[in-house]
Structure formats: structure tokens, C-alpha cells
Amino acid sequence: MKVISTVQEMVQASRQAERPLGLVPTMGYLHEGHMALVRRARQENRTVVTSIFVNPLQFGPQEDLATYPRDTERDLRLLRDARVDVAFLPNAEEMYPPGFCTFVDVQGVTSRLEGERRPGHFRGVTTVVTKLIAIVRPDRSYFGQKDGQQVVVVKRLTLDLNLGTEIVIVPTVREADGLALSSRNAYLSEQERRAAPVLHRSLCRAREVWEQGQRDAEALREEMRGVIAQEPLAHLGYVSVADAGTLEELRRLDRLAMVSLAVRIGKTWLIDNIVLDGGEKEP
């Protein structure tokens, strides 16, 4: 596995790589969720590039950029074992050199949910994703359903700007108790960790009433709030039952819907989602 830290070297490696080439963008501190993306990319491409870049642009001033967990040596070992061809690890100066002043802004779908809770977050995501795609020129790019709104935003971005990469979405990988794997789970104390599956329970409750035939979106939101309210350590940010394409809140569940929520447990914000598509039994 090649480890590359400069843009110039990455551009060169991409030009010479066997095609198709799959890109898996990450912020490192890899877990089984990331590795599901890597494995899928490995199955589908001749060359796999995984980027590890904790992107300062997508963190707000009050957020956890400085404390975001990092373990580069372990990450590289995992990527090597998964037969990744190139690990791309640029630093912030390499990605945003002096004078950098161009940003990519997807409108509409970024104004709600995580966009409202984290102003500027998606501008950081779409700017770095555009740069990574421009540098790596992947035929396919792999993203996790875990970050459901990011999926919608990145699909919109690549469509609107004709970025010429296929977006492949990989289902959310969960712990046995339902908690979605996330690098930020490392922040949870033992007690908080025991409380954290409440997000998944709340999503399961929404699916359950939906399967029983409930089609009033507010009734689903109410059920979800009820589940969260039963966990004393959980503080609700939002619950949403939205059109899966536009993320506009629904009144009736009459189309493909993304059911999502953000919950703070202690100091840690956790997010999760499911898609209700008419019978599929995920997660």
C-alpha cells in the first residue's frame, strides 16, 4: 500500500492507476463501518484509494476538531490488511494552502437537520468532497447511510456539478445493541454508552408503527420523542420524517422517507437514520 500525503503525488498516482478506481473518504479512527465501505470498494474496483483527513472546514468553532480521535498507525494497518492500494493522508495546509478562498455550497437540502444544528458543516463537507474527487478522479465514491443527510447532499453535489463519479451508498453498520458505529462513540462514558442505543430504539419504534400501517408523519415523530424521553441521559436535538430526496418534512408517509434524529448524550451528539421504502426490513 502506498501512503501519499501530497496532492501532486496523489494526482500522479491516480493518473497511473488501473481502472475502475474507488474512493473511500474518511476522517480516520477507522471502525467496521468504514471497513464495510472499504470492502465494498475492494470488491468493485481494480484500485482502491482511502483518504484520511480530519477536515477542519466541516467543524464549527465550538465543535470537537481538536479532540477528534486519531490513530493513524492503526488505521494504516487496517487499510493494508484490507488490501487498499493507496492511503491518501494530506494535512490541512496541503488541502487549504495560503490564499485558499473557494467554497462549494449546496443549497436547500443543507439548510435543514444537521445543517441547521451545525451551520457551515455541509459547506465544509461539500468543499472537501469536491476537492478529493478532483484530486483522486474516482470512478466510484463510497459513502455510508449512517450519515443520511450527507448522502443526499453528496448525490446532489455530484449531479449538479457533473463530477463524473458514481456515488455508492453502504448500509449502516451497527453494534449488537443497535448503536450505529461512529468514531465519536469513543467519547461516551460507560454509562453514556449504555444509554446510546436509544437512538436505534426510537427508529425501530417508528418503523414498527409504520409497519402497522401508520402513515401520519407527526405520529411517528411523537413515538420517537416518547422513546427518547424515557432515557434520562438523552437530550433530543431533532426528530425528522422527511422526503428522502429533498429532506422536506412530510405530513403523510406517501413516498420514500428518511427518518432521522440527533440526540446529545452527555457532551456527545449522536445521529442515526433509517429509510422507510415500502417493506424492506433494514436495519
Binding site for ligand AMP (CB under 6 A): 26-27, 33-34, 36-37, 143-144, 146-147, 170, 172-173, 180-183
Query: Nearest 5°: phi and psi at 245?
Result: -95, -40
Smallest gap from Cβ 215 to ligand AMP, in A, equals 28
Residue showing the smallest CB distance to ligand AMP in the complex: 144
The helix (H) or strand (E) run that includes residue 224 is: helix 217-229
Q: Where are the beta strands (DSSP E) in 163-267?
A: 166-170, 234-243, 257-265
Smallest gap from Cβ 230 to ligand AMP, in A, equals 24
Pairing relationship of beta strands 257-265 and 268-276 according to DSSP bridges: antiparallel
Catalytic, 34? Answer: yes
Q: Angle at which helices 7-16 and 121-136 pack, to 10 degrees? A: 50
Closer of 181 and 219 to ligand AMP (Cβ): 181
Closer of 137 and 146 to ligand AMP (Cβ): 146
Q: Cell 500522479 maps to which residue?
A: 12
Closer of 79 and 217 to ligand AMP (Cβ): 79
Smallest gap from Cβ 142 to ligand AMP, in A, equals 7
Smallest gap from Cβ 163 to ligand AMP, in A, equals 16
Closer of 75 and 85 to ligand AMP (Cβ): 75
CB 33 within 8 A of CB 173: yes
The catalytic position among 34, 121, 200, 235 is 34
The helix (H) or strand (E) run that includes residue 184 is: none
Residues taking part in catalysis: 34
